[in-house]
């Protein structure tokens, strides 16, 4: 059976020419931000990748196909569609088999990117170990994917809706390199620091690209998590954001929100509770990640071409 991959015209050209490509996820569009800011942001992120010398490939499942790159119309439709499934590793094949429309999480986007030969992926925040995981067992499949699939993921760390120390412990157990970019601390999405030291630090896209390629040379499976701090001007202090996070968490428990619904519920409530303030920061950090991911993709493409 051939792989059910469908390339957008722009990505097909990039592949033929061997241009650097950056994968982008679609759950951030359907479940991570409200319409119309979700579509506007997705467009800005794609433009930022192009402005930095790479080609964006937003990934989603439609009509029995893994779409690698969406046209402007497809992006618009996805951003407004109701009831789009949120797909992680467990759901990908089922969605393709039934022909439903699905948005890919970090885990599913990594799988699809790898199938399409794309090694770099930019997003906002990754899933992780939820607070209270010692009783709920709620640990995102994103973490195991980073251990299995050779894609470098650029994110602004993880949101403090998660248990960040436990998230770092699980990543260490799984053998995932967690690399803070340009600082020692692991960033916490809206805040530049989580107060926790990142296991690794790198200060250039070149070094990150070299480390990515070296894992392949060594035959180590899995990718890398690059934790890129939000630009200072867009930062929201932990003191400001934490009460909203606590309120959203209490609400999630009292409403019995579980499984796949937990992360989208918390993201939605925090947008509401910060009256949109979190959204501007979210957009700034995703753009910042797109920029770094494009640089890493270019470095990897240059080195692969020379080899």
Q: Which stretch binds ligand PSU (CB under 6 A): 27-35, 57-65, 91-99, 287-295?
A: 27-35
Identified binder of ligand PSU from the candidate list 20, 56, 69, 124, rule CB under 6 A = 124
CB of 257 to ligand PSU, least distance (A): 11
**Nearest alpha carbon to residue 100 among 60, 68, 72, 71:** 60
- Residues 185-224 close enough to bind ligand PSU by CB under 6 A: 189
For residue 25, indicate whether it is catalytic: yes
Identified binder of ligand PSU from the candidate list 11, 45, 106, 205, rule CB under 6 A = 106
For position 138 contacting Mn ion by CB under 5 A, the verdict is: yes
**Nearest alpha carbon to residue 129 among 149, 159, 104, 91:** 159
CB of 143 to ligand PSU, least distance (A): 9
**Nearest alpha carbon to residue 168 among 135, 137, 194, 202:** 194
**Nearest alpha carbon to residue 26 among 83, 80, 77, 86:** 86
For position 91 contacting Mn ion by CB under 5 A, the verdict is: no
Helices (H), 183-276: 205-218, 238-254, 262-273
Q: Which stretch binds ligand PSU (CB under 6 A): 74-82, 137-145, 195-203, 246-254?
A: 137-145
The CB-nearest residue to Mn ion is: 138
Q: What are phi and psi of 85, to 5 degrees?
A: -75, 145
CB of 206 to Mn ion, least distance (A): 35
CB of 304 to ligand PSU, least distance (A): 27
For residue 159, indicate whether it is catalytic: yes
Q: Which stretch binds ligand PSU (CB under 6 A): 68-76, 244-252, 259-267, 294-302?
A: 259-267
Residues 6+ away with beta carbon under 8 Å from 14: 20, 21, 55, 57
Peptide bond connecting 36 to the previous residue in cis, omega within 30 degrees of 0: yes
DSSP-derived 3-state class of residue 26: coil
Identified binder of ligand PSU from the candidate list 25, 48, 185, 235, rule CB under 6 A = 25
For residue 105, the partner it binds in ligand PSU, Mn ion, none, with Cβ less than 5 to 8 A by kind, is ligand PSU
Q: Which is nearer to ligand PSU, 9 or 83 (CB)?
A: 83
Q: Give the integer Cα–Cα distance in Å for 41 and 36.
A: 9
Answer for the pair 105, 24: CB distance below 8 angstroms, yes or no: no
Residues 6+ away with beta carbon under 8 Å from 124: 28, 32, 155, 156, 189, 282, 285, 286, 289
Q: Which of 46, 48, 159, 299 is catalytic?
A: 159
Token pair in block for residue 229: 């701090």
Residues making contact with ligand PSU (CB under 6 A)? 25, 27-28, 32, 88, 105-106, 124-127, 140-142, 159, 189, 260, 263, 267
| Catalytic site positions | 25, 159
Residues making contact with Mn ion (CB under 5 A)? 138
């Amino acid at each position: 059976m051939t792989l059910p991959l469908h390339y957008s015209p722009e990505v097909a050209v990039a592949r033929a020419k061997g241009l650097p490509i950056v994968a982008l996820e679609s759950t951030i569009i359907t479940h991570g931000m409200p319409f119309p800011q979700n579509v506007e942001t997705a467009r800005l992120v794609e433009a930022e990748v192009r402005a930095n010398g790479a080609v964006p490939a937003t990934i989603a499942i439609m009509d029995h196909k893994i779409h690698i790159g969406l046209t402007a119309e497809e992006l618009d439709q996805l951003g407004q569609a109701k009831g789009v499934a949120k797909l992680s590793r467990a759901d990908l094949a089922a969605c393709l088999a039934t022909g439903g429309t699905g948005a890919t999480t970090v885990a599913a986007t990594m799988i699809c990117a790898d199938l399409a030969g794309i090694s770099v992926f930019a997003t906002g925040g990754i899933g992780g170990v939820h607070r209270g995981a010692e009783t709920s067992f709620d640990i995102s499949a994103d973490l195991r994917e980073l251990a299995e699939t050779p894609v470098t993921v650029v994110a602004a760390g993880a949101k403090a809706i998660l248990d960040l120390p436990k998230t770092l412990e699980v990543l260490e157990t799984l053998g995932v390199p967690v690399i803070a970019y340009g600082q020692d601390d692991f960033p916490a999405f809206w805040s530049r620091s989580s107060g926790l030291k990142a296991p690794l630090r790198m200060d250039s896209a070149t070094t990150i690209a070299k480390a990515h390629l070296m894992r392949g040379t060594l035959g180590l499976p899995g990718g890398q998590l690059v934790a890129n701090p939000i630009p200072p001007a867009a930062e929201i202090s932990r003191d400001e954001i934490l009460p909203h996070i606590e309120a959203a968490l209490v609400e999630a428990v009292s409403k019995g929100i579980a499984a796949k619904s937990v992360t989208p519920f918390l993201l939605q409530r925090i947008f509401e509770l910060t009256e949109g303030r979190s959204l501007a920061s979210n957009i700034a950090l995703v753009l910042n990640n797109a920029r770094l991911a494009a640089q890493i993709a270019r470095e990897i493409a240059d080195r692969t071409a020379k080899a």
